[in-house]
Amino acid sequence: MRTLHKGLRPLYAPLLHPKHTVRIRSPLSISCGAPRRSFQTSASYRTIDLAYDLHDNGGKATGAPILILHGLFGSKKNNRSISKALARDLSRPVYAIDLRNHGDSAHDKAHNYIALAEDTEAFLEKHDLRDATLIGHSMGAKTVMTMALRNPDCCANIIPVDNAPVDAALSSDFPNYVEGMRKVENEKVNSQKAADEILEPFAKELPVRQFLLTNLTRPSPSEPLKFRIPVQILAKALDDMADFPFTDPDIRRFNKPALFMRGSRSHYVSDETIPIIGRFFPRFELMDIDAGHWVISENPEAFRRGVVEFLQDKE
C-alpha cells in the first residue's frame, strides 16, 4: 500500500518529497470546470461562530487537537463515530465542526473556500487550539488545504479526504441533489417518506438520500418539513465549491506533513492531480481506500487505520 510505483519516477519524482508514497490506479482525466473567476485569496469575510461537538474520550484525550470538517450538505453529526474512535485511539481531543451554512452553524450568503477557511481559523484562535491536525472531506478537504496554504502556522499537518487542490467540476450529482431538495421544500411535505419519494429521481442511491435527508427538520409542529441548510445559497455556491483559490505553488506552499486519502472508486483525486499536489504539498503521502467519494462513511475502518498510522508516525 505504501510503495511508489517505479514507472512514475521519471514523471513525478522531481515533484515529490522522498516520503511520498502512492499506489497507482488507472489514470482518470480531470474534469475541468468553467473559466476561473477572480478569487480574493486574502479577502476578509464576516466570520461565523462555528457550532461543534467535542469528543475527548471522557476527558482522557489530552493531546494536540484534531479538527474534522464535513463535506457539502453534511454536518458534524456525520463524523460522530469516527471522531470518538480517533479520540480514543490517539488520546487527542477531536472537534467535529459544522461549517457555515451547515448543521447548527449560522447562514451567510458568502460561501467559498476563503470564507470557510477564515471561519475555521477563527475557531482555532477562539478555542486556543495549537499544533492541530486538520481533517476534511470533500468541501472540508479543500477548506483545510486553503487554510494550510494561507497560513501554514495554523496547524501541524493536514489530512484532505478525496479532493485535490485544483479547479475541477463537481460531479453532476450535486446539482441534481439541489434540484431534488428544492422540490421537496416546494411540495411542503410532512413526512420523511414523502420527502424520500420526491428526492429519489434526483438521488438514486438510498444511502445518499438518507444522508441528504438528515438535513430535514420541522421548524414547528404545525409547519411542513424544511431543510436546515440554505438550499438556495448552496445552489449558488456550487461553482465556488468546484474551484480552488490558489494556482501558483511557487508562491504558496505547505511544507509540513500531509496525508491525501482518496477513494479508489472516486474520480476526485485522479492520477493527473498528483504532480500539482506534490508542488503545493511537497511532504505529502497518498493513500487509496476501497471506497467511492464518501470515504469515511463507506470504509470507516480503513480510514481510521490510515489516520492513526499517519499521526502516530508524526509523534
Q: What are phi and psi of 120, to 5 degrees?
A: -70, -35
- Report the domain count for the chain: 2
Give per-residue pLDDT as tens, 279-296: 999 999 999 999 999 999
Kindly give the parts of the chain with pLDDT less than 50. Answer: 1-40
Which CATH number goes with the domain that contains 289? 3.40.50.1820
- Claim to verify: residue 45 and residue 186 sit in the same structural domain: no
Q: Which residues, 6+ apart, have CB-to-CB distance to 257 below 8 Å?
A: 156, 157, 283, 284, 285, 310, 314
Detail the DSSP E strand segments found in 81-163.
Answer: 94-97, 133-137, 157-161
What does the alpha-carbon distance between residue 96 and residue 74 come to, in Å, rounded to a whole number? 11
- Is residue 213 in some structural domain? yes
What per-residue confidence (pLDDT) applies to 43?
Answer: 62
Of the candidates 297, 312, 252, 307, the residue with the CA atom closest to the CA atom of residue 276: 252
What per-residue confidence (pLDDT) applies to 150?
Answer: 96
- Claim to verify: residue 49 and residue 146 sit in the same structural domain: yes
- Claim to verify: residue 220 and residue 278 sit in the same structural domain: no
- Is residue 30 in some structural domain? no
What per-residue confidence (pLDDT) applies to 21?
Answer: 35
Give every strand in the sheet of 157-161, ordered side by side.
52-55, 94-97, 66-69, 133-137, 157-161, 258-263, 284-289
Task: With residue 103 as reference, give the H or E element that holds it.
Answer: none
- Is residue 77 in some structural domain? yes
DSSP letter, residue 220? S
Catalytic positions, written as ranges: 138, 293
What does the alpha-carbon distance between residue 176 and residue 259 come to, in Å, rounded to a whole number? 31
